Amino acid sequence: MSRTRTERLVNLVICLLSTRRFLTAAQIAATVPGYEHDPDDAKDHEAFQRKFERDKAELRELGVPLETGTASVFDSEPGYRIAHREYALPDIPLEPDEAAAVGIAARLWQHAGLAAAASSGLAKLRAAGVDVDPQATLGLEPMVTVDPAFAPLTAAARDRREVSFDYRAPDRDDPTRRRVQPWGVVCWRGRWYVVGHDLDRAATRCFRLSRVVGAVRVAGAPGGFEPPPGLDLISHVARWSGPVERTGRATVLVRPGRAAGLRRWAVDSGSGPAGDRLVLPYADAESLAAKLVGYGPDVRVLDPPEVREAVIQRLKEIAARHDELTVTGGAR
């Protein structure tokens, strides 16, 4: 955009903010420098109209609330104005420590689009008179990252529009098309999910945003559904990953100086001639067995039998699987 066009747009904003009446295009052209043209010259008039359309689009793109209406019941031609209360950022009285927090929050985004949105939002707060200390730090700062599906899904959830997307779950061979009414988006322990009503499964489902393949397609009209009242988005995601209670106790024998990863996790330990004895808390015998097998001959389970048997069974199968491979040359 040339300097001229920028200047014309600033003037258009000033003109439409200053009027209470709706101004027609002709009235605007007579007031705003840069729109001078001969309305009787069809070609010139058409050029003006194109220019005016582009300018309106540009302002709307920027978020300027351009109102359309007619000045009186006798007018048929549409007019334009900007209501100051719709245009202006409301007063946000931020204390210095609050302003510092917003300043820090604005630079956490690692996603280019949202980083730009955060800093232009911050620029508006500063323009409203908020001073932001650029040196402030909170000691620990999260890097805020999102998957590409974040923007379209939050927009669809905000507008309550149905969406469809291809979804790849690793235990399925191919992505499947899902149709969802998105209720909201959740960050749970560093991963993003969308929670909503799955139209094909006719049930509530959570989808991990990193598994969405390709574009999110908006299918329905705005306001196309109503999320359930009293919705607690987090609870839907947390349901499958609540805290694990490790009430079981297993005793293992560990070679001296080995299996550091198990030692830091033991609730009790002692050393003997055959090695160090560790007591490990666990919730599920099979997953403990998997972990212990990782240490090979450095670790031997003494108790309980169910963990010991699970470990031996796994070791046999692993040995057999790699034997086969060696015999058939699969590993070579």
By CB under 8 A, what part of segment 113-172 binds other proteins? Answer: 113-115, 117-118, 120-129, 137-145, 151, 154-155, 157-158, 170-171
CB of 74 to other proteins, least distance (A): 25
Choosing from 17, 71, 199, 266, the residue that interacts with other proteins (CB under 8 A) is 17
Is 43 near other proteins (CB under 8 A)? no
Instruction: DSSP letter for 72, please.
Output: S
Number of residues located near other proteins, criterion CB under 8 A: 143
Structure tokens belonging to residue 7: 């200047």
CA 264 vs CA 23, 48, 260: distances in Å: 74, 75, 7
Nearer to other proteins, 76 or 189 (CB): 189
Is 8 near other proteins (CB under 8 A)? yes
In three-state secondary structure terms, 254 is: strand
Nearer to other proteins, 79 or 184 (CB): 184
CB of 272 to other proteins, least distance (A): 11
d(CA 97, CA 94): 8
- CB contact set of 101 (below 8 Å; sequence gap of 6+): 136, 138
Choosing from 108, 199, 266, 279, the residue that interacts with other proteins (CB under 8 A) is 108
CB-CB contact of 184 with 233 (8 Å): yes
Site string for other proteins, 193-212 (x = CB under 8 A): -----------------xx-
- Beta strand 191-198 with 212-218 is unpaired
Nearer to other proteins, 76 or 117 (CB): 117
Nearer to other proteins, 28 or 73 (CB): 28
Choosing from 99, 180, 250, 285, the residue that interacts with other proteins (CB under 8 A) is 99
| Phi, psi values for residue 59, rounded to 5° | -65, -40
d(CA 33, CA 28): 9
